[in-house]
Amino acid sequence: MNDAADQIFATLKQSSQSGAPLYLQLRKSIEDAVNRGLIGPGDALPSERDIATKADISRVTVRKAVQDLVKGGILVQRHGSGTFVAPRMERVEQSLSRLTSFTEDMARRGMAVRSQWLDRGLYAPSPDEMMVLGLSSSELVARVARLRIANDTPLAIERASLSASVLRDPAGIGSSLYAALELTGNRPVRAVQRISAANLGDSDARLLEVPPGIAGLHIERISYLASGKVIEFTRSIYRGDAYDFVAELRLTGPSEEGRP
């Protein structure tokens, strides 16, 4: 952190915002410094003890201000390495009318994609999977669960389920599920997607590097082959601060009214 930013804490001592509780004054000073670009995404904050000394306030006060800013998504804390200014989120605008894969979506935007495996294997299907994929209890389901990361920012947790008869080796799909399905002639051509609001639980929030409880999007995608057969049942959690889903709407002519 540079000298200019160091002054944030020193000037707090002579702060003219008297009256407001000290932790609020410190919170505002840090927020202002981020907004004015004095400290930028990825910059490390000095330790709690250093801030307390520089600003001449107690560590409890520093902790309270920092925790507020972490909750608000301005700062992030990484265990063992400290507190940092949160990376700035470039919102991804995603069309709702094209059936694309995560890899294609990000490549089109020039973003580097990688995934962290959370699960992959063949399992006995859950009742939901049996119903959506049309499986019997004696058949197996292939599960592929990944944290999807673009330009080093985790954007979504995707948990895909497919019949084991179309994906015998979930560990062998490489970096793109749709590319693997394409190779066997099983790439979906149509999908129905349901999007709902969800507050992120602790473990999802930790993976997505956001504070627990913040708004996310729960997305369920059921994809079909041209034959009408369901090929993919995916349940995902997307970061609410990272995605704008965009749909084009058209006025229907009288002949189309009443159609689903």
Smallest gap from Cβ 76 to ligand 16G, in A, equals 24
Smallest gap from Cβ 68 to ligand 16G, in A, equals 32
The residues that bridge with 153 in the sheet, in sequence order, are 150
Smallest gap from Cβ 248 to ligand 16G, in A, equals 17
CB 178 within 8 A of CB 187: yes
Q: Is 187 in the site for ligand 16G (CB under 6 A)?
A: no
Smallest gap from Cβ 230 to ligand 16G, in A, equals 12
Q: Is 234 in the site for ligand 16G (CB under 6 A)?
A: yes
Binding segment (CB under 6 A) for ligand 16G, from list 24-32, 100-108, 203-211, 252-260: 100-108
Q: Which two structure tokens, joined as six digits, stand for 89?
A: 């989120």
Smallest gap from Cβ 207 to ligand 16G, in A, equals 16
CB 138 within 8 A of CB 125: no
For residues 12-31, which are near ligand 16G according to CB under 6 A?
A: none
Q: What is the DSSP string of 68-127?
A: HHHHTTSEEEETTTEEEEPPPPPPEEEESSS---HHHHHHHTT--EEEEEEEEEEEPPPH
Q: Which is nearer to ligand 16G, 83 or 234 (CB)?
A: 234
Q: Which residues contact 209 (CB under 8 A, 6 or more apart)?
A: 76, 153, 154
Instruction: Specify the amino acid at residue 129.
Output: E
- Burial of residue 136 (number of CB atoms within 10 Å: 0-12, 13-18, 19+): exposed
Q: Tell which one of 158, 162, 163, 164 touches ligand 16G (CB under 6 A).
A: 158
**What is the β-pairing status of strands 82-85 and 75-78?**
antiparallel
Smallest gap from Cβ 142 to ligand 16G, in A, equals 12
Binding segment (CB under 6 A) for ligand 16G, from list 17-25, 37-45, 85-93, 177-185: 177-185
Q: Which backbone phi and psi does 187 adopt, to 5 degrees? A: -75, 130
Q: Which two structure tokens, joined as six digits, stand for 47?
A: 């330790």
Q: Is 101 in the site for ligand 16G (CB under 6 A)?
A: yes
Q: Tell which one of 9, 23, 102, 243 touches ligand 16G (CB under 6 A).
A: 102
Location of structure tokens 């979504």 = 156
Smallest gap from Cβ 13 to ligand 16G, in A, equals 50
Q: Is 160 in the site for ligand 16G (CB under 6 A)?
A: yes
The Cα 141–Cα 162 span in angstroms is: 6
Q: Is 129 in the site for ligand 16G (CB under 6 A)?
A: no
The Cα 26–Cα 100 span in angstroms is: 45
Q: Is 221 in the site for ligand 16G (CB under 6 A)?
A: yes
Q: Tell which one of 25, 103, 163, 186 touches ligand 16G (CB under 6 A).
A: 103
User: Rule CB under 6 A: which residues touch ligand 16G?
Assistant: 101-103, 158, 160, 176-179, 219, 221, 232, 234, 236
